[in-house]
Amino acid sequence: MSGDHHNTDDTGPAARVKALEAILTEKGLIDAAALDAIVDIYETRVGPRNGARVVAKAWTDSEYRKRLLANATSAVAELGFAGPEGGHLVAVENTDRIHNLVVCTLCSCYPWPVLGLPPVWYKSFAYRSRAVSDPRGVLRDFGLELAPEVEVRVWDSSAEIRYLVIPERPKGTEGMSEDALAGIVTRDSMVGVAKIAAPASRRIDSGRARA
Amino acid sequence: MSTATKALNNLIEAARLDADHVFSAPWEARAFAIALKLSEAGHFSWDEFRDRLIAEVGASERIRARDGTSDHGEYYEHFLRALERLLDEKGIVL
Amino acid sequence: MPRYVRGKAGVIERDWGVFVFPDTNAHHAGTKPQHCYSVAFDARELWGKSVEANGRERVYLDLWEDYLEPIAPKSKRQTTKRKTAHHPGRHGKK
């Protein structure tokens, strides 16, 4: 199926969703305003910017880092991040010896409250099958080559637990404020498919922080 | 370059070009919101929905393994089918 | 349960605690509350010795107690468990 998003025939997904919404609204089970609110939340308010704040705080506040590693659900809630798919959150920390990578081989489980909804590649068969069988190959596809002595840990979200990778803090960031640090943490680094590059100059362009 | 690597590379490239969009089309957003809303209202648990989603994803993969095709952006089609089936099973939408 | 770990030996690394299955989930109906464990599998155990890994690659899965069966412990501090084909009615058909 080629996923033609402009298909407007009677059996295309857009028509089916429209019909479903109509029936459910008629039965009083949903209303358009509530749906709009949900879409708004996941399009604009919940996203990797949340996780970036968690990471920046963990980098700058060693007590927070300890709390995050001990109980990520409550540590993340301290910053106001909670909600669906965030009931059992676990933070896994990258070091120079250990690199963590997150996948959901069965579907697309992802830590929504801190990263929002997953990107298309995360949900793809290519990623889901290869992340567990060839993680170093997948990382190469993303432009990351790990030294052989680095241990790769792949976390397959196969039950209720959702994972957030705490990437290594790059060199050259000493003295940066927590806000500025949050600006350089990328979505990809929090899934584990990328590292965060050391800032090229002292002037930080927060536009680079997009995943 | 293997087919799997090529497939993943295409998706990574697409993500770089379109980093900001959570949903590729309005119907995806609607389907997602409907599923979440109904789950929050208690008509089914998200766990139940996920089981259906896993079944749809798995079924499509058996077809793909047979045909050797690669996927792109089909995810919400599995999602919608899972939702339709679950609602049918629950007698919510007949 | 992901198929690739069926019949494989892993090590329980963490106990996430006991989870209760909601009655609203038909698939889990009657499933007893049980532990969910983080189980680590060596890449070579999963994919064979030809893997690039050199002992530096592990896959961690979260598995219900019911999916596991104990095998002879290698030391006092670690218990290795093997996956069985049995599962409490969740997805995972062949």
pTM confidence score: 0.88
Average pLDDT of the segment spanning A122-128: 92
To the nearest whole number, what is the mean pLDDT of chain B?
85
Q: Which helix (H) or strand (E) holds A26?
A: helix A13-26
Average pLDDT of the segment spanning A118-130: 92
Which of B92, B85, B82 is CA-nearest to residue B41?
B92
Are the beta carbons of C5 and C61 closer than 8 angstroms?
yes
How many inter-chain contacts (A to B, CB under 8 Å) are there?
138
Measured CA to CA, the distance from residue A58 to residue A92 in angstroms comes to 12
Which of C90, C84, C94, C86 is CA-nearest to residue C28?
C90
Residue C21, pLDDT score: 81
**Percent of chain A surpassing pLDDT 90:** 86
Neighbours of C72 (CB within 10 A): 6
Among residues A2, A62, A104, A206, the one annotated as catalytic is A104
Identify which has the larger pLDDT, A200 or A198.
A198
Q: What is the pLDDT of residues C8-29, one digit of tens each?
A: 999 999 999 999 887 666 667 6
Q: Which helix (H) or strand (E) holds A99?
A: strand A98-103
Are the beta carbons of A176 and A43 closer than 8 angstroms?
no
Are the beta carbons of A64 and A79 closer than 8 angstroms?
no
How many inter-chain contacts (A to C, CB under 8 Å) are there?
61
Contact between chains at A153 and C38 (C-beta distance less than 8 A): no
Measured CA to CA, the distance from residue C30 to residue C21 in angstroms comes to 8
- Does pLDDT of B87 surpass 50? yes
Burial track A32-59 (b if 16+ CB lie within 10 A, e otherwise):
eeebeebbebbbeebbbbbbbbbbbbbb
Contact between chains at B37 and A30 (C-beta distance less than 8 A): yes
| Distant-in-sequence, close-in-space partners of C81: CB < 8 Å, separation ≥ 6 | C9, C10, C11, C12, C39, C68, C69, C70, C71
The DSSP secondary structure of A104-135, one letter per residue, reads -SSS----HHHH-SPPHHHHSHHHHHHHHH-H
Among B16-25, B29-38, B46-55, which stretch is predicted with the lowest mean pLDDT? B16-25
Contacts of B57 in chain C (CB under 8 A): none
Q: What residue in B sits closest to C94 (Cα-Cα)?
A: B58
Catalytic residue list contains A158: no
- Does pLDDT of C88 surpass 70? no
Catalytic residue list contains A107: yes
Contacts of B58 in chain C (CB under 8 A): 91
Shortest Cα distance, chain C CAs vs residue A116, angstroms: 22
Contact between chains at A120 and B20 (C-beta distance less than 8 A): no
To the nearest whole number, what is the mean pLDDT of chain A?
91
Measured CA to CA, the distance from residue C1 to residue C6 in angstroms comes to 8
Candidates C57, C58, C83, partner chain A, best to mutate (most A CBs within 10 A): C57
Catalytic residue list contains A104: yes
Of B11, B50, B61, the CB nearest to A120: B11
Measured CA to CA, the distance from residue B77 to residue A192 in angstroms comes to 27
Contact between chains at B34 and A142 (C-beta distance less than 8 A): no
Of A21, A36, A141, the CB nearest to B8: A141
| Distant-in-sequence, close-in-space partners of A2: CB < 8 Å, separation ≥ 6 | none
Contacts of B44 in chain C (CB under 8 A): 24-25
Average pLDDT of the segment spanning A111-115: 97
Whole-complex ipTM: 0.88
Given pLDDT bands bounded at 50, 70 and 90, which one contains residue A198?
A: confident
Q: What is the pLDDT of residues A7-29, one digit of tens each?
A: 445 579 999 999 999 999 999 99
- Does pLDDT of A177 surpass 70? yes
Residue A155, pLDDT score: 98
